[in-house]
Structure 1
Amino acid sequence: MLAPRKKLWSTPERAVTAAIDFVAPFKEEDVVYDVGCGDGRVLIKFAMLEGTSTRTKFVGVEIDEDRANEARENVEREGLSQRIVILCENALMVDYSDATVVFLYLIPRGLRLIKPILLGEEGKRGGGRRIKIVTYMSEFEGETFVRKVNVEPEHQKGAGWPVHLYELEAQEASLTG
């Protein structure tokens, strides 16, 4: 079981369950990213899902070194080090060209910044492929979601926060400088 060292923003279990309902089971060709993965709980849950291929690749991106190390420890504790990689990097500098599914629990500004990178508008992503993107709490501006559910976090009785699924086309990466 995960043993968090410090309590920061963590994705509520009900939001993870909604995300699973949207995108699982994962296939062997899937590469699943969790941007701002924190302690790794979302990726661990995804990787342990029944019906998910053992060849599915999972990547966590976490800018905070302590949280990235915590995620790595949790991944190792669960015996998933061969399937889950945790990067300690700025999410805006990561190459998502292999991503087929991305989970984002970011504020609107973060979504605005990462959207062009995920969709190839920055020339960092090979294109012509569909990518499933799940956002928790905030919407992708200018995009139409395919599904939406509201979840009540365990720690906020009566609150209803949205989980959105987008299925978007990534643009072909530019070959010119």
Structure 2
Amino acid sequence: MGEQGGYQIRFDWGVPGAHAVGADADVLVWVDAIDPAVPPLERLPPIGAVVTTGLAGVAETAAWVLALQEARQAVTSVAVVAAGAARAGGMRFAAEDLLVAGALMDELDARGIGERSPEASVADAAYRALRRGLRGVLDAVVGGGALAGGLRVHRPHRDLLEAAGAA
């Protein structure tokens, strides 16, 4: 079992974090507030489903996860991975990605999804603390002026494909 594997909802950063918390997850949600278009799929763990989202897509993403859980008729584990930003010599832990991940945690919670890891709870707490002024905070952080959008499914879960085929 990977890191945070005892929890339904997990959180970490970048490709190394995706492997740490996503290797045994049913879904990996790649959160990138600036450009959630295409995650580095070839570097992510080969799990059931990979989706991306930005702030505009967190409600849709949470609804998608709930639909998957209902189709599977089983608890669905979700690894939420904040992309961060490239920086010479490593990665910048982007506040905007943390806040979007927290917004997703809040949407998952609103749908009754998940016992969260402590790391996921921290992301959620950051979002909840700043929720009222979120747009201003996101506009002020590095790169926050160009916020990106909604849900994109890059690797659908086999159970959703089977459910769609049966319909």
TM-based fold match above 0.5: no
Q: Which has the higher contact order (CA 8 A, sep 6+)?
A: 2
Work out which of the two has the higher radius of gyration on C-alpha atoms and give 1 or 2: 1
* TM-score interval, smaller chain: 0.3 to 0.5
TM-score normalised according to structure 1 size: 0.35
Structure 1 or 2: more strand by fraction: 1
Structure 1 or 2: more helix by fraction: 2
